[in-house]
Structure 1
Amino acid sequence: MTTSLTGAACLVLTAGAVHAGGIERTTQSALVLFETGNVLEFSLAYADPRLTGRNTSPPFPEQTLDDVARGFALPSFALKYDLTEDWALALIYDRPFGADVAYQDDNAVFGGTTTQASTHALTALARYRFNDTFSAFGGVRLQQADGRIHLQGAAYGAVSGYTVDLDPNVALGYVAGVAYQIPDIALRVVLTYNSAVSHDMEINESGPAIPVDTTGDGVPDTALPLLNGDGSTEVRTPSSWTLDFQTGIMADTLLFGSVRYVRHSEFRVDPKHFETVTNDGLIDLDDTTAWTLGVGRKVTDRVSAALSATYEGPTGRLVSPLAPTTGYTQVRLSGSYAVNERLTVSGGLSHFWLGDGRPQTAQTARADFGDNTGWGVGLKLAYRF
């Protein structure tokens, strides 16, 4: 009962978090280590956030900003294997961070601004069970990251037309956690820490010539290509703490939830030439905390269902144009069907409401995004052997 309900409850990934927190797309969960027996899982999720707004920066008209966020797919797999009664191993692939934002070309304020970023992560974990109650786990994460950011529009002033390409880079992080369980009442509490991953990325910057004062009279008299050049920069994907819990509350019924804190402020993109010209970086995000609570029930010997909700509070109305919302609320309905003793099929559907945000440059609001929603869908196959 516990395993099937947990799998159904956690199937649909927190797709809204990519906009509320900035770049996060999965929770990098290690809970597959607590599945019963050996299991191989394949999952595919798809999320489609709808982000629309309007210009607010004078003297430009209040143009409508059509849907600036693109839908994205999240494939993943996990293999869990029991070495002994006390030792278990897991191998997990997912795409934990990403971004895909594009403003339409005809917008006066942000027209043509785009960002694309993607990651691929492979995580190897081991868990040791001290007794029926306590266990500890940990491992390493191998992560590849790359991206491209282009700034365009009146909101960016002299640096409109700037582009930075971040070449693919592979780096290591780590995972550590502890767990407390009382199997007789399906009680389990798991605390997981995912470290930041530091990527030393080769970059290429290109952009317009910047007016500069070469005579010292305070009046720009020439334009120099200060934004052009190759180099490198450190990009850190954020660390996180997650407290997952579950407990049986009556026969065939499970209460579950989590509290997740993500240090999005660790994620910085500060290319050398851009920072020299503007005295600032490209992205500045706030830390976030998300709360989840749900209930799952075993309907028949083969069918389980779960309903859950997640809330992440807003961190402030002024946001990055590359992540133009803050906070979200999400509701998920999921279920699983045991085809036989070995194969289980799970599916889920989610709807989320994205928090209002006001994209800014130079600490001045340039647009207003509000009343935005989205949806997500997921499918998982689990085979036990």
Structure 2
Amino acid sequence: MRNHFHLKTLAVAIATLSIASVTNAAGLDRSGQDVTAFLQDGTYAEAAYTYIDADVSGFDSANNNPNDNSYAKGAATGDIAEAYDFFRYGVKTDINDTFSIGVLYDEPFGAAAEYTDSNFVSQGDLDASVAGITNGAAPSLAAAQAGIAALAPGEAAGALTDEQQAQLDGLRGAVGIAQAEASTAGENTNVEVRSQSLTGLLGMRFGANKNFQIYGGPVAQRIQAEVKLRGLAYGPAAGYTSTSNPEMDYGYIAGLSFSKPEIALKAALTYRSEIDHELQISENYPIRAIASGGALSADQNAKYEVTTPESVNFDFQTGINATTLATAKVRWVPWSDFSITPPLYNDVSKGTYGPDGLNLLDYDDDQWQVELGLAKRLAPALAVSGTVGWDSGAGDPTTSLGPIEGYYSAGLGAKYNVTDEWAISAGGKYLWFGDAEGRLPTGKIAADFQDNEGYIVGLKLSYQDIN
């Protein structure tokens, strides 16, 4: 039994790290949409599991006035990042020396965050809520209502000064927000986004030595989301809830690769298209019913569109000597083009923020991710690998539902060949997250997050027959 590595297949030793590519550091990116399983020689199959645990904590803003965007350090948020895991599968085989086929499954996009402390949690105390929103100007609900009753006759007669009108509007807004807050007493701000993707691939090699390959195929993608905005931090949006039901839609993948087996060189450039989803969404927005005196419902069911972003991945490897392989990965995702705009949320916001209203979620910058690695064969059946990486993030300030501006990472992995064909790989990464301010859709800075970190671990079982 040989039970050893060939240089041209040594790249598989680092694949366990590529499955643990990203957390929610940039936009909603999770898996990194890796396609290297399809680029392996011969018949190849893998099943991989990734677990991600991040510690993301900071401080909310002591300023709860929705009309004042200034930040003032408030209470500790606690850890808002929920641990999550996902799977990836892939299988590929050569039909002949020209054509290859494969199928890949991954979970490309997602989010998992929950606030359990601070003013991102609904307290349900009407008096405390009014006082918090008005910075103590009206210390109780009764005082705020008395202030409204005293000023309202002057408004009807057109006798209020601009300052008095602003005071009246502020008191009315505070009472409405407090009532919305009370309707969800004790609940936490929470977001969960899940996606699944199935990619079919057909590759064709060409050139004098079959060194080049073009590949592509259809992509089926399913996405769903649930969002709960709670606490005084969200102002008029406090109490908002939406559930987007799972929906399957389609896109495509296309790529070009080059290989030179005698020096273990492989390079691949892969493009994935954006995918337009039409989702059925159920929304509940308490302030809508409160502000209209019950004339308008707080609930709405409708359809809306979400477009998951396109991406470009570049994968590269080359042998340094008979036992050592160098690798590089680069990924680009235009998160600045992405947004989530639920119809009821958007419609309610138009009254205050103009004819276009607000997006529930969007980003300022595009994501760039770079990872460099080395893999080394230590024994006939054992190889180890190490990586360093950088992720640009998608802007700062960024959404309060994912307040990280990129990361730096360092990882280690190992692969053991149990037989000539079967191997087990394991690896992990440590991540140092970039500091970020948590911004609301209104532009208000609601929290500040610094000195956070996380880790990723992965386990993979793979099969390869290159005979």
The residue that corresponds to 2:109 in the other structure is: 97
The residue that corresponds to 2:54 in the other structure is: 49
- Report the CA distance between 1:197 and its aligned residue: 1.5
Matches within 5 A, 1:147-296: 147-210=225-288, 222=293, 224-225=295-296, 227-278=298-349, 279-285=357-363, 286-296=365-375
Q: Distance in 2 between matches of 1:110 and 1:266?
A: 30
Matches within 5 A, 1:347-366: 347-361=426-440, 362-366=442-446
The residue that corresponds to 1:130 in the other structure is: 206
Output the amino acid matched with 2:327. F
How many pairs are equivalent?
Answer: 377
TM-score, length-normalised on structure 2?
Answer: 0.77
Q: Distance in 1 between matches of 2:284 and 2:213?
A: 51
Give the aligned CA root-mean-square deviation in angstroms. 2.0
Deviations 1:139-164 (A, max 9, x none): 11111111111111222211210111
Matches within 5 A, 1:329-340: 329-340=408-419
Higher alpha-carbon deviation: 188-197 or 307-316: 307-316
- Tell me whether 1:107 sits opposite 2:112 in the alignment: no
Does the CA-based 8 Å contact 2:20-2:458 persist in structure 1?
A: no
The residue that corresponds to 1:23 in the other structure is: 28
For residues 56 and 158 of structure 1, do their structure 2 counterparts lie closer, same or farther at Cα, with a shift above 3 Å needed? closer
For residues 222 and 272 of structure 1, do their structure 2 counterparts lie closer, same or farther at Cα, with a shift above 3 Å needed? same
Identity of aligned residues (%): 29
- Report the CA distance between 1:30 and its aligned residue: 1.6
Q: Indicate the SS of the match to 2:379.
A: coil
Higher alpha-carbon deviation: 308-317 or 72-81: 308-317
- Report the CA distance between 1:234 and its aligned residue: 0.6
- Report the CA distance between 1:2 and its aligned residue: 4.1
Output the amino acid matched with 1:235. V
Does the CA-based 8 Å contact 1:209-1:225 persist in structure 2?
A: no
Output the amino acid matched with 1:371. D
Ranges in structure 1 where 5+ consecutive residues have no aligned partner: 213-219
Matches within 5 A, 1:53-68: 53-58=58-63, 62-68=74-80
- Report the CA distance between 1:211 and its aligned residue: 7.8
Does the CA-based 8 Å contact 2:26-2:393 persist in structure 1?
A: no
The residue that corresponds to 2:422 in the other structure is: 343
- Tell me whether 1:306 sits opposite 2:385 in the alignment: yes
Does the CA-based 8 Å contact 1:119-1:144 persist in structure 2?
A: yes
The residue that corresponds to 1:78 in the other structure is: 90
Q: Distance in 1 between matches of 2:272 and 2:395?
A: 25
- Report the CA distance between 1:73 and its aligned residue: 1.1
Q: Which has the higher helix share?
A: 2
Deviations 1:151-200 (A, max 9, x none): 11222211210111101100111110001222221111100001111110
- Report the CA distance between 1:208 and its aligned residue: 0.7
Q: Distance in 1 between matches of 2:367 and 2:308?
A: 14
Does the CA-based 8 Å contact 2:20-2:428 persist in structure 1?
A: no
Q: Indicate the SS of the match to 2:234.
A: helix
Does the CA-based 8 Å contact 1:50-1:69 persist in structure 2?
A: yes
- Report the CA distance between 1:305 and its aligned residue: 1.0
The residue that corresponds to 1:121 in the other structure is: 197
Q: Distance in 1 between matches of 2:383 and 2:297?
A: 60
Q: Distance in 1 between matches of 2:21 and 2:87?
A: 16
Output the amino acid matched with 1:107. S
Does the CA-based 8 Å contact 1:270-1:281 persist in structure 2?
A: yes
Q: Distance in 1 between matches of 2:23 and 2:271?
A: 19
Q: Distance in 1 between matches of 2:74 and 2:87?
A: 39
Q: Distance in 2 between matches of 1:101 and 1:13?
A: 23
Does the CA-based 8 Å contact 1:16-1:49 persist in structure 2?
A: no
Q: Distance in 1 between matches of 2:114 and 2:45?
A: 37
Does the CA-based 8 Å contact 1:109-1:366 persist in structure 2?
A: no
For residues 268 and 208 of structure 1, do their structure 2 counterparts lie closer, same or farther at Cα, with a shift above 3 Å needed? same
The residue that corresponds to 1:320 in the other structure is: 399
Q: Distance in 2 between matches of 1:147 and 1:79?
A: 29
The residue that corresponds to 1:87 in the other structure is: 99
Q: Indicate the SS of the match to 1:12.
A: helix
Q: Which of these residues, 9, 12, 25, is aligned with residue 7 of structure 1?
A: 12
Does the CA-based 8 Å contact 1:209-1:226 persist in structure 2?
A: no
Q: Which of these residues, 439, 442, 447, is aligned with residue 367 of structure 1?
A: 447
- Report the CA distance between 1:349 and its aligned residue: 1.3
Q: Distance in 1 between matches of 2:393 and 2:462?
A: 36
Q: Indicate the SS of the match to 2:118.
A: coil
- Report the CA distance between 1:226 and its aligned residue: 5.8
- Report the CA distance between 1:261 and its aligned residue: 0.3
Q: Indicate the SS of the match to 2:223.
A: strand
Ranges in structure 2 where 5+ consecutive residues have no aligned partner: 1-5, 65-71, 123-187, 350-356
Deviations 1:221-274 (A, max 9, x none): 846546521101111111111111111122211111111101223332111111
The residue that corresponds to 1:144 in the other structure is: 222
Q: Which has the higher strand share?
A: 1
Compare CA radii of gyration and give the structure with the larger one: 2
